[in-house]
Amino acid sequence: MATTSLFVTANACAGVPSMPIDAACRAASTCPAMYDLCTSILQSSPPNSDLATYAVSAAGAAALSCNSAADAGVRMLQDGSVTGDMRDACSACVDDYRAAHQGIAATADQLGQCAFQNVRQGYMDALSAIEDCTAKLVAAGGTTTTLYAMAVGVRDRTAIALRLGTAIGA
């Protein structure tokens, strides 16, 4: 996959509030597990950054998890043990994860440029691709696979990135 500017910290954006990581993660989380994941994702971010910086960091984590999941899908396809419907689901998931990565990367680039208009749509498109993969794995009986477990992690990281990114305009 192409390298993007996901890890470039956003410059301070006019009118975007700065806050401690703890406060940003409390605002972006719906439960303790999401809060813990958020603080883990943002732990290497500068403290008291603006929300755009945190949103770019979260997008980077979500994009990396898409890459890892796509790579896992490719490995499952290459090892020869996956056949039939499960093989079709894995193949489709690789495409879904790549599409999700592209959506997240484009959104991260917008965030890094202090352009917040289409943030929600970019993440919703990525989440839709991730959910498509999850549904295909469920239909193929693949809920015990590594790829399914990764789908949950990718979804959660993308949801945190969405909530941080859309909090900017709130």
Q: Considering Cα of 19, then 25, then 26, then 30, what sign does the dihedral take?
A: positive
Query: What pLDDT is attached to residue 90?
Result: 96
Share of the chain above pLDDT 90, in %: 73
2 lies in a domain?
no
Residue 9 lies in a domain: no
**In this structure, what token pair is assigned to residue 71?**
């790579």
pLDDT in tens, 115-136: 888 889 999 999 999 999 999 9
73, two tokens:
């899908």
Helix, strand or coil, per DSSP, at residue 18: strand
The DSSP H or E segment spanning 20 is none
Would residue 12 count as lying in a domain? no
Domain membership flag for residue 96:
yes
Instruction: Report yes or no on 79 lying in a domain.
Output: yes
The CATH number covering residue 75 comes to: 1.20.140.40
Among 6, 18, 7, 9, CA closest to 47: 18
Q: Which of 13-17, 66-70, 120-124, 137-141 has the lowest mean pLDDT?
A: 13-17
Residue 118 sits in which domain range?
A: 21-167
Please give the tally of structural domains in the chain: 1
Q: Is 39 among the domain residues?
A: yes
pTM: 0.88
The answer to whether the Cα torsion of 72, 78, 84, 88 is positive or negative is positive
pLDDT tens digits for range 134-160: 999 999 999 999 999 999 999 999 999
53 within domain boundaries: yes
Q: What is the pLDDT of residue 47?
A: 86
The pLDDT of residue 112 is above 90: no
Residue 41 lies in a domain: yes
